[in-house]
Structure 1
């Protein structure tokens, strides 16, 4: 999201306009019912958060997938699973040391281990422009990123300095993910092959100062990335209700991620469940495909496999809605050196829609912070929505974003509010009602 398009790129609780009833699709729930539904959303969020870490193929991801599949089966969906091979690394010792300084690091996937003795070299700082004052031959490159809400190692400001450091002879690279929390920001990676020719790790900005000082003094450091890695099975699934119609509604969301992913994934999961419960009863003139992918953190690995094998064909799909990251994460105040949670939604969430849907999206999401300014999908798209568009689906929408604790271990229950998620989910229900009845303007009929 540091480029305009990765493909080339909820406090908004104003009264939701009522949709007129139409055959097969009842009207939107009123705000009173949204408030009543908040308890269900809260339970869904708590269940998702309770699975703990969600790395693809790990215990939390598998348990979460089983739960979501069972929820769809209870609604009458026929569930088909698809195996996906994903990387993993079980860390035993991952740390950076220099003299008396020691700090934990996050091993950047696909991990190149250092071996038990580690890798030692002079620390050389690489600035945000990719420049270094000293030679990188046999060094440990300390890549001091500019401030940002980072998400993926494929971003040019990350990938290019790391590759350049190895090309200049560095033994290893350490990425300092300067961002809004001061913590390690885990970075998405290619899930099929290692991106870099040597060991790479991520260091929290709050732990970086001793190593920046070591670089200034041209002192040595040792990096240890020790553990067990390889590949393990994960699974995608699709829940279908085939009504024998000639067109499909597809709704997708990923469930996996580096940590607990409370606000990164939780609101998307809860909204996906909301829409599945609604559509299974209300949408009678479309077949339904509700898709849940693993392997998202490996640059949409699961989504790519879904589109090859189990998704409805583009020509048969009326509309595809993708619920990505930060559907409704909480915003924060920075005050007196600490962060305080706000009741409002982080505005760094983006709604991308096919151009034909722009008027409808502007009307339907008026008052929904961040979503109220939708973008045409040929200008801005990201994540798994890129995969959907690239596969040839013509009428699409997707929400994605980077909240303050995105890809941070502290993305926990503090970062999400059930009422905000319920309001957002109701907004997407309204949007779907209007798309399915063919209302491009978003005006009440």
Structure 2
């Protein structure tokens, strides 16, 4: 650390960032009446979902000032606020005439439950200031009083970065880069190495814009509960700590329940079709680290719209050719946990296809200018349409997504890149289509409604509606037979937790 002193007031100003917040009343009642325009319907459902997160009185994870990121609302898996969101989803489904077998499907889930958290840094001048920071869930915990240690900067934690560094009893300051939907993939291994070399804690600065804190997932299925308590900070705070920080005190006071004692939920509803032995599944996750308006809101809004649209169509025209299951999945912070626990309940030979309403469907686009984002005026280019290598499925999806209003996006065969939760069904040989995306504010507190390109919401809803309509009109047996190549390619991927959580009422 450099020895030049700086006043605590200046350090604190560098650490602090603008934070959203506020509360309002939450309306969890479902929408009734005729189905309206796709964009209007999807936007209304999205706002209703976000108001539950903003306004539910069940939020119980406020540990201090918003300016220090200690009172962050989010439907995080395993939290009381996620339960409020599941209740909301159940209410939406129950309000739709024609939907049956509405079900809260509970399942065991590893829960990381915070009691308190904080980060304080002592500068070269001896002054101690609080730093806005958010825990890296499942990465490790501290005693209630926290831990203290000298700060050692390890850059990105590569072998050369660690050469000659004494980490015993120290708190490591690590810098990571964000790629697509999160960290570049090596940080969890680096943190494990830091712990093995004697570090007692870690402070991780990402390259999210400004001083935004980008929360990170942990692959609990692979790595389990970590042993190195870790706090995530913004890049401006990271630069200030690197320049002036000498010692840190961190608190990650949390309890941990493994999947045998923790609980999470999916919420599902069935629209019965003429052929109950062929089922189209349409799903989206409903968890988020913070408000996650751009990440989760459009998918949730479109899910409710599609459920209302197809239920009304069946009411007017009679049962649709196949049944449709609509599912709001939980357990998202442990990747695809809820979806895989749900999809495994439906026999593969009865599943027509899985349609995934993934992250950032209509995210605002940015370009990088001197390391900071500048809005492009259009949609994020970092969105990927993933369609199983299946000629019949491609014939449905190609025209559905051929609308300039929802472009640009990438399209890779899932055997090359299978982002998002649709990886599990793809790995199990189920015909799958989904879109997933990100932008510079993904997983940050700044991901509010300003990150949603509302003009594209209606066209995106129509695109997914067209896919479902195409699936209902195709021969399900032939579609599954045409999926042989995709099934062979997908078998290289894992489908963790592919075990039915609880019998589906609609299949009994």
Counterparts of 1:147 and 1:189, CA distance in 2: 14
Counterparts of 2:434 and 2:205, CA distance in 1: 30
The aligned residue for residue 289 of structure 2 is 258
1:302 maps to 2:338: yes
Q: How many residues align?
A: 400
Aligned-residue Cα RMSD (Å) equals: 2.9
Q: Which of the residues 175, 184, 187 maps onto 1:144? A: 175
Counterparts of 1:239 and 1:437, CA distance in 2: 21
Aligned positions of 1:69-218 closer than 5 A: 69-75=90-96, 76-77=98-99, 78-84=101-107, 85-99=109-123, 100=127, 101-110=129-138, 112-128=140-156, 130=158, 131-133=161-163, 134-146=165-177, 148-149=179-180, 151=182, 156-191=185-220, 194-214=224-244
Q: Which has the higher contact order (CA 8 A, sep 6+)?
A: 1
The aligned residue for residue 444 of structure 2 is 408
Q: Can you list the C-alpha shifts for 1:130-165, whole angstroms capped at 9, x where unaligned?
A: 22352222221111113545526xx53211211111
Verify the 8 A CA contact 1:93 1:226 in the aligned structure 2: yes
Q: Which of the residues 463, 467, 470 maps onto 1:431? A: 467
TM-score by length of 1: 0.81
Verify the 8 A CA contact 1:149 1:406 in the aligned structure 2: no
TM-score by length of 2: 0.72
Counterparts of 2:47 and 2:426, CA distance in 1: 32
Identify which range, 85-94 or 65-74, moves more after superposition.
85-94
The DSSP-based 3-state class of the residue aligned with 2:425 is: helix
Q: Tell me: CA distance 1:71–1:221, structure 2 relative to 1, closer, same or farther (3 Å).
A: closer
The aligned residue for residue 32 of structure 2 is none
Counterparts of 2:37 and 2:328, CA distance in 1: 26
Quote how far apart the aligned CAs of 1:194 are.
4.0
1:313 maps to 2:347: yes
Identify which range, 167-176 or 221-230, moves more after superposition.
221-230
Q: Tell me: CA distance 1:149–1:241, structure 2 relative to 1, closer, same or farther (3 Å).
A: closer
Quote how far apart the aligned CAs of 1:333 are.
5.9
In structure 2, the gaps of 5 or more residues are: 1-34, 54-73, 315-319, 479-508
Verify the 8 A CA contact 2:385 2:410 in the aligned structure 1: yes
The aligned residue for residue 223 of structure 1 is 250
1:386 maps to 2:423: yes
Verify the 8 A CA contact 2:37 2:458 in the aligned structure 1: no
Counterparts of 1:83 and 1:35, CA distance in 2: 32
Q: Can you list the C-alpha shifts for 1:204-252, whole angstroms capped at 9, x where unaligned?
A: 112112321257xxx3322222355657533212211223513111101
Verify the 8 A CA contact 2:75 2:289 in the aligned structure 1: yes
